[in-house]
Structure 1
């Protein structure tokens, strides 16, 4: 007998944990330049990576104690990641001699977030009241940089970006005949969609913290028109995926509708829910979705999941016999030589 609903959460390894930097050519002037690095991630949703990062926004301050600002949420345009191409800030700032500089940057696909701020004294980038949407969110804070006595000889600022959000995927499986149709719709998770994210520099590893809020809403994962069919020719599964605010998943549930049909019409339909509680290795063994991690929940649903009485109607087969071969005698073949 089939299980009525099966959900399994799996945390995949951290999406970006690289610290390598790609260094651009040294600019022969006092203008502050940037180079950047973004690790590769598994392709599923439209994430930001080394191939498609084209813009980020930067903060910068110098001077220990006073921390004079030189960049406040300024756009920087690429350029390509890792090929020594030039990244150009839309506004220009200049190196002062022998000064300590602290920088921070973020990108969510090219959109400026007005409520972003940077505290240079604590090296913390804060995104106040960030609402997760269809875009990835990455951030970077390098170690403090001390400018040269000859300010024309400073190298570009190297930035390594890390993912601040989590990714949640639902993969639906089905063992019914491909002649049926199993449509999955209204796949939703009611959870925190707006929160304040803080990315802080730490010499042993930068940290990402999200302050949970009361801003709850539906993540709408969408529709799968038919999971009673083979895996797609390109190898992709019957899956839907979204970026989410990192948060506790202990009390979260997924809900969805399922409709089972054959060529003659609908056979059964129903609404289902399942627990998303999962303790992942990326969240220090807590029941939560961690920043920079992806989670795949697998759901098996068949016709008899929707209507248990179909268990008694499953078409099965018996094999009565396999007919043996009949011997029709021997025939001699006389060969002739060909000219």
Structure 2
């Protein structure tokens, strides 16, 4: 009897660094036939079993012809809340018990972004995603998940675990005021993650080994500024959750080198930083930032930056909390005026000295109503003509 190749989600996708393990299973049998639904889109939101509608699989067998068993084949849920994923074109395990090697991923190369393409090495039976680049707009970025496993008709009568992991790093930005400085109000209109390497190649086998991230960035040097501007400004006093709608940026794992704000204010070396689009006022309403020149030119908000030096790893979420308790960062190096200048520079304080009173005595003449200043004894003329 032929054995159809099915993919069944038995628990949930196992996502590295997440609290819940979610597992997909490969089942064999003839009892199910599944139709398809539209491809998933996980824009900057973490993929879970509940929002995973489909994924793609490329498979290799062990026979002598170097060609994929099938490639970039879509598998979809049978129905809502189903745990079964199958392809429209049905495939079966080889009857001799040899293994099939599966590379599964979501979303498709096309959905991952322009310039991305899957390269198949039939000789070593490997898969590489070439030239992946996250979308410039943070809300348009996608969560790329992948895994590798094997299965055959002898050992996998029930199921073969297919465990997905996150391939990218998730970055979330928050703004806080610990020990809040009530002298200022902060209004936030957007967020930037600036000067991260923007392109890389992803090796599925290296990623599956767990000793490597799978990413190779050596062929690429281009960096990008990733931006998310809000429809409506957020008030920091209300607790600014800056990425609540999109969840966070999905960026390539890498080592960041921070912007040298002291020696390279224009950031010619393209050091990394995080920036917020801000309007700062005093509690009495005076505009502090944007500075005078920009405000007179019609700008209502301006970018305020903080250098960041970090290592991002695949499958991990990094939350950056920008604390405005005692400062507001530096003018973003992309701003035309005053790049790298501290936005709040030096606490306003006073060194106080109080001078002694200078005494003046007056006498009023009750007869004529005149008031005259009394002269100091040293200034009084001697009525006898003495000195």
Q: So what's the TM-score if we normalise by structure 2? A: 0.58
Structure 2: runs of 5 or more not aligned? 1-14, 34-42, 136-140, 259-271, 291-302, 329-342, 351-387
- CA–CA distance in structure 2, aligned partners of residues 204 and 17 of structure 1: 22
* CA offsets 1:263-318 (integer angstroms, 9 cap, x no match): 8755211543222112xxxxxxxxx21100111112122586443467449xxxxx
- Is the alpha carbon distance of 1:84 and 1:146 closer, same or farther for their aligned partners in structure 2, counting shifts above 3 Å? same
SS in structure 2 at match of 1:95: coil
Q: Does the 8 Å CA contact 2:194/2:274 hold for their aligned counterparts?
A: yes
Which deviates more, 300-309 or 206-215? 300-309
- 1:307 lines up with 2:344 in the alignment: yes
CA contact (8 A) 2:189 2:277 kept: yes
- Cα RMSD of the aligned pairs, angstroms, is 4.0
Q: Tell me the residue number matched to 2:288.
A: 268
Residue 163 (structure 1) aligns with: 166
**1:61 equivalent in structure 2:** 60
Aligned partner of 1:231 among 217, 234, 239: 239
In structure 1, what is the Cα distance between the partners aligned to 2:171 and 2:192? 12
Alignment of 1:155-194 (within 5 A): 155=158, 157-174=160-177, 175-177=180-182, 180-185=185-190, 187-194=192-199
Give, in whole Å, the separation in 1 of the partners of 2:122 and 2:52: 25
Larger Rg: 2
Question: Could you tell me how far 1:28 is from its partner in structure 2?
Answer: 2.8
Q: 1:65 to 1:184 in 2, by over 3 A?
A: same
TM-score, normalised by the number of residues in structure 1: 0.66
User: 1:131 maps to which residue?
Assistant: 133
Quick one: higher RCO (CA 8 Å, sep 6+), 1 or 2?
1
In the alignment, structure 1 residue 71 sits paired with structure 2 residue 81: no
1:103 matched to 2:102: yes
Distance in 2, matches of 1:22 and 1:258, equals 44
Deviation at 1:262, TM superposition (A): 5.9
Greater mean alpha carbon deviation, residues 296-305 or residues 174-183: 174-183
> Which consecutive residues of structure 1, in runs of 5 or more, have no partner in the other structure?
1-12, 32-43, 279-287, 314-339
Deviation at 1:112, TM superposition (A): 5.2
Distance in 1 of aligned mates of 2:207 and 2:326: 52
Q: In the superposition, relative to structure 1, how do residues 93 and 302 fare at CA in structure 2: closer, same or farther (>3 Å)?
A: same
Q: Which residue of 2 aligns with 1:330?
A: none
Q: How does 1:323-334 map to 2 (within 5 A)?
A: none
Q: Residues 219 and 238 from structure 1, CA distance in 2 versus in 1: closer, same or farther, beyond 3 angstroms? A: closer
Aligned length: 273
Cα deviation, residue 47, structure 1: 1.2
User: Are residues 115 and 210 of structure 1, via their aligned partners in 2, closer, same or farther at CA, if it must alter by over 3 Å?
Assistant: same
Output the CA distance in 1 between the equivalents of 2:207 and 2:287. 58
Question: 1:196 Cα shift?
Answer: 1.1
Following superposition, the deviation at residue 69 of structure 1 comes to 2.2
**Residues 249 and 203 from structure 1, CA distance in 2 versus in 1: closer, same or farther, beyond 3 angstroms?**
closer
Change (3 A) 1:297 1:100: same
Does 2:229 correspond to 1:222?
yes
Q: Say which SS state the counterpart of residue 200 (structure 1) adopts.
A: helix
Query: Does the 8 Å contact 1:178/1:230 carry over to 2?
Result: no
CA gap 1:264/1:84 in 2 versus in 1, 3 angstroms:
closer
Q: Is the 8 A contact 1:22 1:158 kept in 2?
A: yes
**Aligned to 2:196, what secondary structure does the other structure show?**
strand
1:86 CA displacement:
2.6
For residues 255 and 26 of structure 1, the distance between their equivalents in structure 2, rounded to whole angstroms, comes to: 51
